[in-house]
Amino acid sequence: MSASGAALLAISDLHVGFPENRAAVEGLRPRTEGDWLLVAGDVAERLDAFESTLRLLGERFAKVIWAPGNHELWTTPGDPGLRGEERYRRLVQICRRLGVLTPEDPYAIWTGEGGPAAVVPLFLLYDYSFRPSGTTRAQALDLARGQGVVCRDEFLLHPEPYPSREAWCRARVRESEERLESIDPGLPTVLVNHFPLLRAPTRVLRHQALAQWCGTEQTADWHLRFRAAAVVYGHLHIPGTSWHDGVRFEEVSLGYPHERRPHHRAGRLLRQLLPPPRREWSR
């Protein structure tokens, strides 16, 4: 049972390679000793920074649950040259050493106020199906190239041993679906994924060509199908709350230093998932 007053909190896109972000993360504290923290990806590009950040959070929060972002999966110079699935497995190994839960672990059940709910970290990636309608994969990539907004994943996020990022995505979706189906159907869920499960939140992107790197149509009904009490995501760096089919979606990113929002500047870096907050934040 969680300590009284404990909450399920979330943040993403810590990008601790920026000193300002590192300092912000060092200032994060739970409000009660029973608080859990969901970290929805893009902690860091380097494995050592990833590890030291999750160690710090793991020492402070009663439980930390991580879902990978695209930046953790980048193979960059100066970091061990692991690619694709192998790199993901290394990240999982680091988390296990620290006692941080990953998409490969049994789902933790939040039994505090607002629960019970199964907390489900997901690793699904994207399959380019959020590309502008009526375009082929090649046309959508050309469009992004023309606007100078090609995602760096194209050069740094390798899908090995899968033939492509979309093939890796398909495999992850299938595997995750099976696990979600095995959850007690009487139990609501909190779904945690780096990318939005729905296309709708990407409509606010200034460059729509960027949406092709932001998720997959394959998860469009997951918030209903898997009884989500709330859905957590990041990646867009456009924090805010939105409602879809009566389900609360929370974009919880800290983002880059130049993207700080008024609520960040006021020191509210953590979003509360459960119990549902009385006053919802607006963008």
**Choices 23-31, 63-71, 133-141, 169-177 (CB under 5 A): range interacting with Fe ion:** 63-71
In DSSP terms, 198 is beta-bridged to none
10 Å Cβ neighbour count for 259?
14
**Choices 9-17, 26-34, 139-147, 240-248 (CB under 5 A): range interacting with Fe ion:** 9-17
Binders of Fe ion among 156-175, rule CB under 5 A? Answer: none
**Choices 10-18, 20-28, 112-120, 134-142 (CB under 5 A): range interacting with Fe ion:** 10-18
Helix (H, G, I), strand (E, B) or coil at 272: strand
CB within 8 Å of 186: residues ≥ 6 apart: none
DSSP-derived secondary structure letter, 62: S
Q: How far is the CB of 240 from Fe ion (least distance, A)?
A: 15
Which helix (H) or strand (E) covers residue 106, if one does?
A: none
Q: How far is the CB of 181 from Fe ion (least distance, A)?
A: 27
Retrieve residue 11's tokens: 């943040």
Place of tokens 């040259």: 81
**Choices 59-67, 205-213, 217-225, 235-243 (CB under 5 A): range interacting with Fe ion:** 235-243
How many angstroms separate the CA atoms of 159 and 123, rounded?
A: 13
End-to-end CA distance of the chain: 33
How many angstroms separate the CA atoms of 167 and 146, rounded?
A: 26
**Choices 8-16, 89-97, 203-211, 264-272 (CB under 5 A): range interacting with Fe ion:** 8-16
10 Å Cβ neighbour count for 163?
9
Of 13 and 127, nearer to Fe ion (C-beta) is 13
Binding flag, residue 202, Fe ion (CB under 5 A): no
Of 14 and 173, nearer to Fe ion (C-beta) is 14
How many angstroms separate the CA atoms of 82 and 99, rounded?
A: 22
One residue of 235, 236, 240, 271 binding Fe ion per CB under 5 A: 235
Binding flag, residue 45, Fe ion (CB under 5 A): no
Within 187-257, residue ranges assigned H as helices are 222-225
Binding flag, residue 102, Fe ion (CB under 5 A): no
Binding flag, residue 69, Fe ion (CB under 5 A): yes
Binding flag, residue 72, Fe ion (CB under 5 A): no
With CB under 5 A as the rule, give the number of residues binding Fe ion.
5
Q: How far is the CB of 177 from Fe ion (least distance, A)?
A: 22
Residue 34 · residue 6 · CB < 8 Å: yes
Of 227 and 235, nearer to Fe ion (C-beta) is 235
Of 187 and 205, nearer to Fe ion (C-beta) is 205
Q: Give the footprint of Fe ion on this chain (CB under 5 A).
A: 13, 42, 69-70, 235
